[in-house]
Structure 1
Amino acid sequence: MKLQSFVLAALLAGSASAVRPLTVSGGNFVNSAGDRFVIVGLAYQPGGASGYDPASGKDPLSDPDICLRDAAVMQRLGINTVRVYNVNPDVNHDMCMSIFNSVGIYVALDVNSPLAGDSINRHDPGSSYNEGYIKRIYSVVDAFKGYPNLLGFFAGNEVVNDVPSASVVPPYIRSIQRDLKNYIAKHASRTIPVGYSAADDPTRRPMWAYLSCGDDADSRSDFYGLNSYQWCGDSTWESSGYQGLVDTFKNTSIPLFFSEFGCNKISPRPFGEIAALYGERMISSWSGGLVYEYSQETSNYGLVQIDSNGDARLLKDFDNLQGQYNNINLNLIKNKSSSTTSANHPKCEDTFILLGHSDTFNTSTTLLPNPATDLLENGSGNTNVGKLVSVTQTKTPHKVFTSTGVQIDGIEIKMLKDDESNTPSGENTSSAAGGSGGSSGNKKKGAAEGLRVSAVLVVGVTVVVGFWGLV
């Protein structure tokens, strides 16, 4: 009997715990208890879009050792969501998704990729909206629908970004969102949010209005992300344009967040926008955002330098971001659980969509017929359906160094209890390891107390897959 009890305890210790899947209520993400979720996250695409090669049999969520290293680093930073731009639906993602799940990190995925046939051509959408494309996006749904820490799918990324694309593409985005939602309803065990990631240009407001309006919940966006780099260096609220963003998107009826942010015109980045995004002026209507990006690539937006041997070195940007996160007022976010967003979707009228914008924007809500109804009914044929597995290894096999070159001892993930997620701990990763550290010395209570999702802002790592989305 004692032996049986021991074996049972061991099995339970290694079993996969699950975060609460997120849904949408009005302008907020919420968990199953109805608690608001605010994104504190990163874009995550090691190797960049050019590094995505399906023939390699790998993608950002296929190597458990890499995911263990990065989850441990992200957990120290205190984030709750990662966005992953490009994934291969044919490879196994169980261990990576389970690792992120075990530390309370949600993943947001793009269903597209930069490869031919895997995205919509913004200049000729009709030629690319075909059965092969539908098979691609349905296969991604099948590969990831079984993970409770899947936050949602991006149906497109900056597909509308100029006058020509605005004149033809919008109905295709609503059609693709309908196709994804209908497939999820038929082939998944839960509702999974579907939304869009927009360019921060003159099309941003009409695109938000167009995608959030009307009674057709199937084609309407569940959330709206904005790729915005307005706040640079030592900008202020007045000089950054953030007041304009708040005014533009006030009374949003769907969750609104930065799907990318983090201008690098000044380096290292001070990340002063963190205080604004999670402060009094924005927290009631914005659901946080995703810093671009985790790994250092040629575009020089990285927080972490990845060496060829798999070791990682934190950069000064990491230190500065951690300092800003540590100064987030968690009580403020907790007290803002009742936001000022609207639960009523405006009618899809030109007077609403085109407010202050040219009438070249296509406001038609007449959708395109699904070009692959057989796949909708019978499935994509992808048998690589993901599921959570037990996470038994917590220590990363790779070394991690501070921004001053000091190796961090004991770098490993700390698995959380069910329904818990990260929050910034108030500690400084680099200085704690002997480096010079960032700007934070604030020792507020946070993740060390295991705050529950129901109590505070859920901070985790959002993985964004397929950041080219539609081209």
Structure 2
Amino acid sequence: MKTSLAAGALASLATLAAAVNPVKIAGSQFVDSVTNKRVMIIGVDYQPGGQAGYKPDEDRDPLSDAEVCLRDATIMQQLGINTIRVYNVDPTLNHDECASIFNYAGMYMIVDVNAPFGGESLDRSDPEGSYHVGYLSRTFGVVEAFKNYPNTMGFFAANEVMNDMDTAEKNPQYIRAIQRDIKNYIAKNSERAIPVGYSAADVRPILQDSWAYFQCKIGDNDVSRSDFFGLNSYSWCGADATFESAGFDKLATMFEKTSVPVFFSEYGCNEVTPRSFNEVQSLYGTKLTALSGGLVYEYSQEESNYGLVDSFDNGTVHFRIDYDNLKNQYSKLDIGLIQSTSPSAASQDPPQCDKSLITNSKFSSEFNIPDTPDEITEVINSGLSNPNQGKLVPVTKTDVVGDIFAVDWTPIQGLKLVEVKDGESNLPSGASGSGTGTSGGPEPTKTGAASAMTVNSMFALVAAAVVLVVSL
């Protein structure tokens, strides 16, 4: 059952939360539209419940439950992140409270416009057949639902549609067509420009060609090219990995002259557990300044075993060792260095699209992008009829309710969402440099486990123990 945080009388007295500054793109970097400082993504992929957490028939998606968003935003604020990526959203649901909570916490959102059910994404086996007005209208609905939130950083038009040579033959043209249509819809129906890009699988035989294909421009006024390029990369595995063994040196060379922002849209190999996240220092260091940060996969523990926290059905949350390890790595970052690179210095003119950019003969070198069908053009020009449009609302509750446990199952009390100053974003606690933000807020209080555990907490602990025994 969804819960509401805006109780009548309090809501009438509350004021809107201070807003983060919208992000724009300058050359190959994300930039704060007000301060013109570089914005590096220090983030986490957020999909509580995994793909199964998306249940439109039950009015549920990752941003539909304000109590859960408050709890998780507070935990992630303590972690020190400034961005979340959200998969599988229902454009018909009200996301105002959750979006406002993450804005209040100083966090941007990158939103995937697609979802897993039929007609909700591009079918890699039949891109032409799945490119139709019904599908595009749904993606435009996602734009409408999120365009008015200042912390909406961008939209992913597609995710890992190409995962081998066979899927790289016909899909690239249609991905660019979708990007064009979404960007044209935004230009016609949004008060501000919102970047649109692609999230690619780290399949090295097609990676360079994918980036080259999506960043190049066709003519002078091409809107089909990606505004940014995300990479789902899991090449750095274990504490013994190095910049060279993980192939980060090759990525640095590949993206050295990128004309669009490039970042890890997913990272955090789990072949060795617990994860140490040593790659964080390289990702935000001096050798990989071509990249604009990254998003760790993922916040909550799901079947794939990438979680930073365990989330139980009764609302209990337990920090995994990975959470503490990542927070420790973030605390070592030099925020001054991260924000210091001049956007103008990193600007690169995009190359003109040409077959010579493509290195593999099986990868598409076709740059004749499918025309926008007339029925889609009509929707773009007129806008959706009576769309669900989100807006910021007052955040009236900041205290986290529920049982939260540290790695050693010591209860954590006093967790409270902290409002960022107007125009600022969240940053890791302890990080050096001249950056601004909440720096994770005040540290919560840990109390004795025996005295503070509730029946539900004990149940969660016993359940976790049973899972551990079974797994052994």
Q: Could you report, residue by residue, the CA deviation over 1:151-191 in whole angstroms, capped at 9, with x for unpaired residues?
A: 00000001111111111011101100010000001111100
| Residue pairs, 1:277-426, within 5 angstroms | 277-283=283-289, 285-338=290-343, 341-351=346-356, 353-354=357-358, 357-371=359-373, 372-426=376-430
Note if 1:207 corresponds to 2:246. no
Note if 1:169 corresponds to 2:178. no
Q: Who is 1:26 aligned against?
A: 27
Aligned residues: 422
Aligned counterparts of 1:344 and 1:318: Cα–Cα separation in 2 = 39
* Aligned-partner residue type, residue 216 of structure 2: C
Aligned 8 A contact 1:425 1:447 in 2: no
TM score, norm. by length of structure 2? 0.86
Q: Could you report, residue by residue, the CA deviation over 1:194-225 in whole angstroms, capped at 9, with x for unpaired residues?
A: 00000111111111111111134411110000
**Deviating more after overlay: 324-333 vs 40-49:** 324-333
For residue 92 of structure 2, the aligned residue among 78, 90, 110 is 90
Note the residue ranges of structure 1 that are not aligned, 5 or more in a row.
1-9, 427-442, 452-471
Identity, % of aligned positions: 50
* Aligned-partner residue type, residue 15 of structure 2: G
Aligned 8 A contact 1:103 1:415 in 2: yes
Shift of 1:450: 4.4
Aligned 8 A contact 1:224 1:257 in 2: yes
Aligned counterparts of 1:290 and 1:247: Cα–Cα separation in 2 = 21
Aligned 8 A contact 1:166 1:361 in 2: yes
Q: Who is 2:232 aligned against?
A: 227
Aligned counterparts of 1:217 and 1:405: Cα–Cα separation in 2 = 54
Q: Who is 1:436 aligned against?
A: none
Cα gap change, 1:216/1:363 in structure 2, threshold over 3 Å: closer, same or farther? farther
What secondary structure does 2:69 align onto?
A: helix
TM score, norm. by length of structure 1? 0.86
Q: Could you report, residue by residue, the CA deviation over 1:311-361 in whole angstroms, capped at 9, with x for unpaired residues?
A: 21110000100010011122222333457533301111122x21xx32221
What secondary structure does 2:324 align onto?
A: helix
Q: Could you report, residue by residue, the CA deviation over 1:394-419 in whole angstroms, capped at 9, with x for unpaired residues?
A: 01222211011111111110001111
What secondary structure does 2:238 align onto?
A: coil
What secondary structure does 1:82 align onto?
A: strand
* Aligned-partner residue type, residue 80 of structure 1: N
* Aligned-partner residue type, residue 273 of structure 1: E
Aligned counterparts of 1:164 and 1:90: Cα–Cα separation in 2 = 35
Cα gap change, 1:277/1:103 in structure 2, threshold over 3 Å: closer, same or farther? same
Aligned 8 A contact 2:424 2:437 in 1: no
What secondary structure does 2:25 align onto?
A: strand
Cα gap change, 1:449/1:423 in structure 2, threshold over 3 Å: closer, same or farther? closer
| Residue pairs, 1:147-296, within 5 angstroms | 147-201=149-203, 202-214=205-217, 215-234=220-239, 235-283=241-289, 285-296=290-301
* Aligned-partner residue type, residue 17 of structure 2: A
What secondary structure does 1:320 align onto?
A: helix
Q: Could you report, residue by residue, the CA deviation over 1:73-127 in whole angstroms, capped at 9, with x for unpaired residues?
A: 0000000000011000111000100000011100000100111000111111011
Cα gap change, 1:449/1:80 in structure 2, threshold over 3 Å: closer, same or farther? closer
Aligned 8 A contact 1:111 1:153 in 2: yes
What secondary structure does 2:169 align onto?
A: helix
Q: Could you report, residue by residue, the CA deviation over 1:253-298 in whole angstroms, capped at 9, with x for unpaired residues?
A: 0000000000000000000100100011012x11000000000001
What secondary structure does 1:252 align onto?
A: coil
What secondary structure does 1:71 align onto?
A: helix
* Aligned-partner residue type, residue 328 of structure 2: G
Aligned counterparts of 2:245 and 2:57: Cα–Cα separation in 1 = 46
Cα gap change, 1:301/1:327 in structure 2, threshold over 3 Å: closer, same or farther? same
Aligned counterparts of 1:292 and 1:136: Cα–Cα separation in 2 = 26
Aligned counterparts of 2:312 and 2:275: Cα–Cα separation in 1 = 22
What secondary structure does 1:287 align onto?
A: strand
Q: Who is 2:101 aligned against?
A: 99
Aligned counterparts of 2:302 and 2:49: Cα–Cα separation in 1 = 7
* Aligned-partner residue type, residue 95 of structure 1: E
What secondary structure does 1:257 align onto?
A: strand
RMSD (CA atoms): 1.8
* Aligned-partner residue type, residue 203 of structure 1: I
Q: Who is 2:122 aligned against?
A: 120
Cα gap change, 1:450/1:82 in structure 2, threshold over 3 Å: closer, same or farther? closer
Shift of 1:381: 2.7
| Residue pairs, 1:139-150, within 5 angstroms | 139-150=141-152
Note the residue ranges of structure 2 that are not aligned, 5 or more in a row.
1-10, 440-472
Note if 1:37 corresponds to 2:39. yes
Aligned counterparts of 1:165 and 1:410: Cα–Cα separation in 2 = 50
* Aligned-partner residue type, residue 72 of structure 2: D
Which structure would you say has the larger RCO, counting Cα contacts within 8 Å and 6 or more residues apart? Answer: 1
